């Protein structure tokens, strides 16, 4: 029996992470406001996250096209955050795991693990003034 998945295989994710590793150091040194943030804030990753946020991730439906929030979801612009401190790690944790007791589900729209990272990067970049919605 053969199983198929829309998520990339683990070796693809590992190779992608290794190829992006040099960008992590550069992005953190230039753009990250806190040492604990591990966002790979590049135009490519941010743009990919923007497309997913406004497309298959369906994030915009609750958080709004400009990330200003709505009747069922909070704004994603900070400086106050409902579920943490606004760090990349916190944003990634929420998109990856959802928020129990709310409409925020894990991997919204059925997006892959790689897409979760891109969406988290986009939200982090916008909320920290590194990109526009």
CATH number for the domain harbouring residue 51 = 1.10.760.10
Dump pLDDT digits (tens) for 24-60.
444 444 444 444 555 668 999 999 999 999 999 999 9
Q: What is the band of 79 on the pLDDT scale with cuts at 50, 70, 90?
A: confident
What is the distance between the alpha carbons of residues 42 and 20, in angstroms, rounded to a whole number? Answer: 10
Residue 5 lies in a domain: no
Q: What pLDDT does residue 6 have?
A: 55
Mean pLDDT of the chain: 81
Q: What percent of the chain has pLDDT over 90?
A: 62
For residue 108, pLDDT beyond 90: yes
For residue 11, pLDDT beyond 80: no
What is the distance between the alpha carbons of residues 59 and 20, in angstroms, rounded to a whole number? Answer: 25
What is the distance between the alpha carbons of residues 3 and 92, in angstroms, rounded to a whole number? Answer: 27
| H runs (alpha helix) in 31-81 | 43-53, 60-63
Residue 109 lies in a domain: yes
Supply angle C-alpha 128, 115, 82, rounded to 5: 45
Range of the domain at 77: 10-127
Q: How many domains does the chain have?
A: 1
Which one has a higher pLDDT value, 78 or 115?
A: 115
């Amino acid at each position: 029996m053969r199983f198929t998945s829309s998520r990339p295989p683990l070796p693809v994710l590992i190779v992608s992470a290794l190829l992006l590793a040099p960008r992590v150091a550069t992005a953190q040194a230039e753009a990250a406001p806190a040492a604990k943030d591990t966002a790979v804030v590049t135009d490519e990753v941010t743009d990919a996250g923007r497309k997913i946020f406004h497309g298959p991730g369906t994030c915009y439906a609750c958080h709004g096209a400009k990330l200003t929030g709505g009747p069922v979801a909070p704004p994603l612009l900070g400086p106050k955050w409902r579920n943490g401190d606004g760090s990349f790690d916190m944003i990634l944790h929420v998109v990856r795991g959802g928020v129990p007791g709310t409409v925020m589900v894990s991997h919204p729209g059925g997006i892959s693990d790689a897409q979760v990272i891109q969406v988290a990067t986009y939200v982090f970049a916008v909320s920290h003034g590194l990109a526009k919605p």
